[in-house]
Structure 1
Amino acid sequence: MRKNKSGSEIADALSAFRGAFIGIGVFSGFINILALSGSLFMMEVYDRVIPSGSLPTLAGLFALVAILYFFQGALELMRTRLLTRIGASLDQTLGSRVFDAVIGLQLKAPRAAENSQPLRDLDTIRGFLSSSGPGAFFDLPWLPFYLGICFLFHQLLGMAVLCGVIFLVFLTLLTEIMSRLPTQETARQSVARSRILEMSRRNAEALVAMGMTGRVRQRWQEVSRRHIEAQQSTSDTSGGFGGLGRVFRMLLQSAVLAVGAYLVIGQETTSGVIIAGSILSARALAPIDLAISNWKGFSAARQAKQRLDKLLVLLPEQDPPMPLPKPQFEVAVQNLAATPPDVQRVVVQDVSFVLKPGSGLGVIGPSASGKSSLARLLVGIWSPQRGTIAIDGAPLNLWSPEALGAHIGYLPQNVELLDGTVGENICRFDPTATPEKIIAAARAASIHELILGLPQGYDTPVGEQGESLSSGQKQRLALARALFGDPFLVVLDEPNSNLDGEGEAALTQAMIGVRQRGGIVIVVAHRPSALAAVDLILAMAGGRQQAFGPKDEVLAKVLQPNPALKIISKPAAAS
C-alpha cells in the first residue's frame, strides 16, 4: 500500500506542482506591483502634467503606463494559463486513480447513492482551479501592501479603506457560514436526481409497459424541485453577498473620493491623491470582492476534495504484487464464508472443494441458496470473510486484478456489453489482441458464423449495453468474451437463461472445449441442459454446501430426499 505524505492524495498531487504555484505567486507579486501603474499615472497627471502643461511629459508617462499595462496583462494571462494547466494535470494524475476507486466503490458499496460522484468531484476541483477564484486568493496577501500605501497618502484615507476591508472580510466569513449547508444539500440532491434518472433510463421498457412512467416522473420532479431549491439557496447566498460586496466597494470608492476632496479643501494633500486613493482602494478590495463572488465554486471544490479524500482513504491504492506463473494445476476452496457488500448477512458459508485441470463443476440449488454469490467470490469480485480461494496454491489476493483477469473467464447472470464493436467486446478491449485470438474465442463459443452475418461482422457496433443485439446474441457474445485467451478458470452464471436449443448445444461444446484443453469450468445452473458437460456437482441450500462429488452420485443423493434442491426446467429467479 502506498503511503501519502500528507494523508491526502489530492494534496500530494497538488504538491507536485509546488514549483508552478511558486511561479504563480511570483507572477501575482509583479501583477499587484504593476497594478499601481494606473493610480500613480493619475496622480502624476493631476499633480504635475496639468499644472505644468507639459505635453512631452504626458506622452512619456502614457507610453510608460501602456508598457506597464501590457506586462501586467501578459502576467495575468500566464497566471490563468498556468492554473488551467495545473487543473488539467491534476485530472490526468488522479483521473485513473479516481476511476479505479469508482469501480472499487461499486464492488464494496453497490448500493451507494451515486458511484459516479467521485469523477464529478474531480471535475469540480479542476473547474475551480481553472476559474478566476484561485487568482483572487493569490492576490489577497497583497491587501496590506495597498492598505499601507493608502496610509502613506493620508491617515484618513487609510482608515476609510481599512473599514472597508473589515466589512468585506466579515461578508466573506458570513458567505462561508451561510453557503455551507446549501452547497452540501445541492450536491446531495444532485446525486439523488441522477440516480433516479439513470434507474429510469435502464428500465425504460418496464416503465412504459406497466404504466409506471408518470409515477417515477413525479418522484424525479420532486427530487429535482429540492435540488433546484438548494441550488437557488446557494446561488442566492453567494450572489447576494457578492452583489452587496460590489455595491459596498463602489460606495467605498466614492467615500474615498469624498475624504480626498475634504483633505484637498483643507490643503492637507493634492488633488492627484484623490484619484490615486480611489483607484488603490478599489484594487485593495477587488480580491476580497472576487473571493466572495467565487465562494460558491470554492466551497463546492473544498467539499469535493473532502469527499474524494474520504473515498481514496477507504480504497487505498495497492502496490502490484509480484507476478505469478500461469495457473495450470488446481482451484482450491477451503471453509469459505462471505457476506455481500453493504449487507450484514452471511450468504455463503462452509464451502470447500478442490478442482483439478479438466474438471467441470455444476453448482445447483434453489433460489437464494448462494450460487451466484459463490460465483462472484470465485472470480474475485467479492472478498471472503473467512476461508480462502486459491489458484495453484496462491490466494486470489496475491494476484493483481489485471493478472488474475487474464486467467479467468466470467459470464455474469445479467449480461451487459460495453459500447464498442463486437470484436472489441470479445477481446475485452485489449488493444494488443490479434484477429486470430478474437476469432478463436468466437469459434470456441460457436458464434463465428453468427457474427459474420451481422452488418459489419466483427466491426459491428453493439451500442450501449449491447442494445443492437438480442438477449441470446448478447449472452453468446459474452460467452465468447469469457473464453477469450483460453483462461484457466471459466465461471458461468446461468449461461443458458436466454439461449435456444442451438445456443445450448454451443454452450455445451464450449464447456467441453475448456475441459479438453486442461481448463476448469464452473457453471451455476437451474436448467439441466447446462449440466451436460460437467462431471462434478456442488449442491447448495441456505448458503451452505450440502453435497459435492461426481455428478451422478450427488444428483441421486440430493434430489430425492430434498426436493428443494431439484433443478427446474426453466429459468428461475436470480440466486
Structure 2
Amino acid sequence: MAAAPGVRRSELGDALRACRAAFIGVGLMSCVINVLYLTGSIFMLEVYDRVLPSRSVPTLVGLVVLAAGLYIAQGVLDLLRGRILGRIGTSLDEAINARVFDTIVRLPLLMGNRTEGLQPLRDLDNVRSFLGSQGPGAFFDLPWLPLYMAICFAFHWLLGVTALVGAIILITLTLITEFMSRSPAKEAMTLAARRNDLAAASRRNAEVLVAMGMSGRLQRRWSEANENYLAGNQRASDVAGGLGAVAKVLRMMLQSAVLAVGAYLVIFQEATGGIIIAGSILSARALAPIDLAIAHWKGFVAARQSWHRLSRLLQQMPPAGTQTVLQAPTKRLSVEAVSLAAPGDQRVIVADVAFVLEAGSGVGIIGPSGSGKSSLVRALVGVWMPFRGKVRLDGAALDQWSPDVLGRYVGYLPQDVELFAGTVAQNISRFDAGAKSDDIIAAAKEAGVHEMIIKMREGYDTQVGEQGTALSAGQAQRIALARALYGDPFLIVLDEPNSNLDSEGDEALTRAVRSARERGAVVVVVAHRPIGIEGVDQILVLKEGRIQAFGPKETVLAQVLQPRVAPAPPIKIVSDAGAKS
C-alpha cells in the first residue's frame, strides 16, 4: 500500500505491514474462535430445553462429545493465534533491531549524552512483548461483541438490553482507563529511565565511589530516584488495576443481572429455563474481551508510547543511503576551516582550524586542557560532524564515505580506552569475522604488544572480559593501539595514547608512529608529555579552540618552550652606616 504524497512511511509500520498475511490469519482464526465460543451457551440451552425434558441419555452423550470436540478445536485455534501473535512480535524485532542498535550507537554522536541511552531497545522490547501477550487477542475479539449482543436480543429483548447496558458501562470504563492511565504511565517511564541512568553511572564509576566514600551518598540519591519511580509506577498500576477490578465486579454483576432477568422471564413463561443459563454465559462471553482489554491496558499504553517514541526516533535518524565506494585514500588529510560544537550543544569548541598533512606526515597536537584537542580529533575521524568547514581525505569529504567503509582507512585510539567482551585477537581485528591471523599478529607487532600477548595465559585467545576488565589499563591501551593499527589504515589518530604506558610502552608507541609514517600513513597524536610526540615531524598548538602555532616540530617547540627570563629583583642599597649599626 503506497503512502500518500508528503507522508513519511513509518519503519515500524512497514515491518508490521510485512506481516499482513499473519494478521489476516489471526483475524480468520478469531472469527472461528468467536463462533466456537458459543459452544457453552448452546450446550447449556440444549441440555435444559431438550435433554432434561426428554431424559434422553443418548442425546446428552452426543451433545457432550460434540461440545468436547468444539472445545478442543477452540483451544487449539486459541493456542495457534497466541503463537502467531508472538511470532509477529519476533518478526518485528528481527526486522527493526539492526536499525534500533544503529540509533543507540549514533544517538550520542548527534545529540550528546543527554539522550535516552538504551531506551530505544526497551521500547522495542515493550512493543514485542505486548504483541506476544493476550492483549492483541482481546482487540481481535472486540469486533464480535455485536454478534453476542444480537444473539442475546434474539433470546429476548430484555436480555439484550441488560447485556447492552453492561457493555456500554464497560466500554465507558475502558475510555476512562485510557484517559486516566496515559499520564501516570508516561511519568513512570521517565522516572524509570532516570533511575536506570543513575545506576549505570554508579556502576561505571564504582572504584571512585568506593575509594572516596561516595557510595553511601549515591545510594541515597538512587534510593530517592527509586522511590519516585516506585511511586509513579504504583500510580499507574493503581489506575489500571483499580479500574480493572471495577470492570471485573461489574461483569459478575451483569452475569447475575442476566440470570435474574432470565428467571423473571421464566416465571412469566416468556422464556425457557435453558435461556437463563445460556444468556448468562453468552453475556459474560460478550464482555470478556472488554474485561481482558482493561486488564492489559497498562501494557497497551506502554507499547503505544514506545511505538510512537521509536517511530519518531527512527524518522529523525533515517538509515544511511547507499554511497559510491571511493578509492582508498593515499595522499593527504585536509582540514578546511573546521568549526565544531559538541553534539546537542551550541557552544563553539573549535573555531576555524585549517591545516594539511601529506602522506607520511605526523603531527602532534598540544595545548592546555580544554583547548579542544580531543574535539578536533573526533572530527578528523568522522565521529563529530563540523557545523562549518570540511575534513577531507584525498579531496573527498568524510561524509562521502559510509562509516563502515571509512573505518577501513582510519585507526583511532580514543582518550578513554574501552575493549569489548571477546578475545584479544577479536578486539585487535575489530571483530572482523574474516580477519587473518597474520594481519592480527602484524598489527600487534607494530604496536609492540606481541610479546606481551603471547605471555598471557591463552595468548591471542585470552578473554579480555566485559569492558576489558581482565586487563590492566596499560595492557588495554596497548591492545587498543594495535586495534588502531590493524589493517594498515591511512589515517591514524591517537588521543593521549601514552596516558597509561610505562617507559617500554612509550618506546613501542614511538616506534609504531614512525613505522606507520614510513609506510605512508598520516599520524595525528594528542599528547601532554613530550615523549608522546617523539615520532612526529610537525606540531599544532591549540588554545581556546584556535590554532596558535603549526609547523615543523623543532621550530614550534622552540617557540612554545622558549624560557621566559624573569626580570631581576630590584637591588636594595644598604649604606655603610646602616651596615655598621
**Does the aligned pair in 2 maintain the 1:6–1:12 contact within 8 Å?**
no
The answer on whether the counterparts of 1:365 and 1:371 sit within 8 Å (CA) in structure 2 is yes
d(CA) in 1 for partners of 2:353, 2:232: 50
- Report sequence identity in percent: 57
> Are residues 1:10 and 2:21 paired?
no
Q: Which residue of 2 aligns with 1:315?
A: 317
2:186 — aligned with what? Answer: 184
In the TM superposition, residue 561 of structure 1 has moved relative to its aligned partner by 8.9
What SS does the aligned partner of 1:546 have? strand
**Equivalence for 2:571:** none
Which residue in 2 is equivalent to 1:130?
A: 132
2: distance between equivalents of 1:482 and 1:64?
72
> How far 1:497 sits from its partner (Å)?
0.8
What is the correspondence of 1:253-272 to structure 2 with a 5 Å cutoff? 253-272=255-274
The answer to whether the 8 Å contact 1:5/1:12 transfers is no
* Alpha-carbon separation, structure 2, partners of 1:547 and 1:145: 83
Pairing 1:80–2:82 present: yes
Q: Which residue of 1 aligns with 2:573?
A: none
Once residues 372 and 399 of structure 1 are traced to their aligned partners in structure 2, the CA distance between those partners, rounded to angstroms, is 22
| 2:546 paired with 1:544 | yes
Q: 1:505 aligns to what?
A: 507
Match of 1:46 in 2: 48
State the partner residue of 1:391: 393
Q: Which amino acid aligns with 2:53?
A: P
Q: Deviations over 1:484-520 (max 9, x none)?
A: 1111100000011111111000000000111011111
SS of 2:108's partner is helix
Pick aligned residue for 1:222 from 221, 224, 233 = 224
Cα deviation for residue 539 of structure 1 reads 1.3
User: What is aligned with 1:29?
Assistant: 31
Q: Which runs of 5+ in 2 are unaligned?
A: 566-581
Q: TM-score, normalised by structure 2?
A: 0.95
- 3-state SS, counterpart of residue 40 of structure 1: helix
Q: Tell me the SS of whatever aligns to 1:461.
A: coil
Corresponding residue for residue 161 of structure 1: 163
Per-residue CA deviations over 1:271-303 (Å, capped at 9, x if unaligned) read: 111111001101100000000000000000011
SS class of match (2:509): helix
Aligned length: 562
- Measured after TM superposition, the shift of residue 177 of structure 1 is 1.3
From 355, 369, 389, give the equivalent of 2:357: 355
Residue equivalent to 2:498: 496
Contact 1:257/1:277 (<8 A) preserved: yes
State how far apart, in whole Å, the 2-side matches of 1:137 and 1:168 are: 14
- CA apart distance, 1:114: 3.3
Name the CA shift for 1:97/1:537 in 2 (closer, same or farther; >3 Å): same
Measure, in 2, the Cα distance between the counterparts of 1:6 and 1:270: 59
Q: Which residue of 1 aligns with 2:204?
A: 202
Q: Is the 8 A contact 1:8 1:309 kept in 2?
A: yes
**Contact conserved, 2:320 with 2:402, CA < 8 A, in 1?**
no
Q: How many Å separate the matches in 1 of 2:307 and 2:214? A: 38
Q: Is the Cα–Cα contact under 8 Å of residues 108 and 115 in structure 2 kept in the other structure? A: no
SS in 2 for 1:233: helix
Secondary structure at the aligned position of 2:348 is classed as coil
Deviations 1:153-183 (A, max 9, x none): 1110000001100110111111111111111
Q: What is the CA–CA distance in structure 2 between the aligned matches of 1:527 and 1:105, rounded to whole Å?
A: 33
CA contact (8 A) 2:108 2:343 kept: no
Distance 2:482 2:148 in 1: 71
SS at match of 2:541: strand
1:571 aligned partner? none
Q: Which runs of 5+ in 1 are unaligned?
A: 564-575
1:278 equivalent to 2:280? Answer: yes
Cross-structure match for 2:483 = 481
Instruction: Determine helix, strand or coil for the equivalent of 2:270.
Output: coil
1:345-494 aligned at under 5 Å gives the runs 345-494=347-496
Query: Could you list the per-position Cα deviations for residues 135-156 of structure 1 after superposition, in whole angstroms to 9, with x for gaps in the alignment?
Result: 0000000001110110111110
- AA aligned to 1:460 is T
The CA deviation string for residues 210-240 of structure 1, in whole angstroms up to 9 with x for no partner, is 1111100000000000111111111111111
Question: 2: distance between equivalents of 1:352 and 1:558?
Answer: 20
Larger Rg computed on CA atoms: 2
SS of corresponding position for 1:406: helix
Structure 1 residues 4 and 530 mapped into 2: Cα distance closer, same or farther (>3 Å)?
farther
SS at match of 2:143: helix
User: Aligned partners of 2:366, 2:489: CA distance in 1, in Å?
Assistant: 23
AA aligned opposite 1:35? Y
Partner of 2:244: 242
Are 2:255 and 2:283, in contact at CA under 8 Å, matched by a contact in 1?
yes
Indicate the SS of the match to 1:156. helix
Quote the Cα distance in structure 2 between the aligned partners of 1:561 and 1:47: 112
Q: Find the aligned partners of 2:539 and 2:77 in 1 and give their Cα distance.
A: 74
| Per-residue CA distance 1:309-350 (angstroms, 9 max, x = gap) | 121122111212111111111111111111011221111111
- RMSD over aligned CA atoms reads 1.5
Deviation at 1:559?
Answer: 3.9
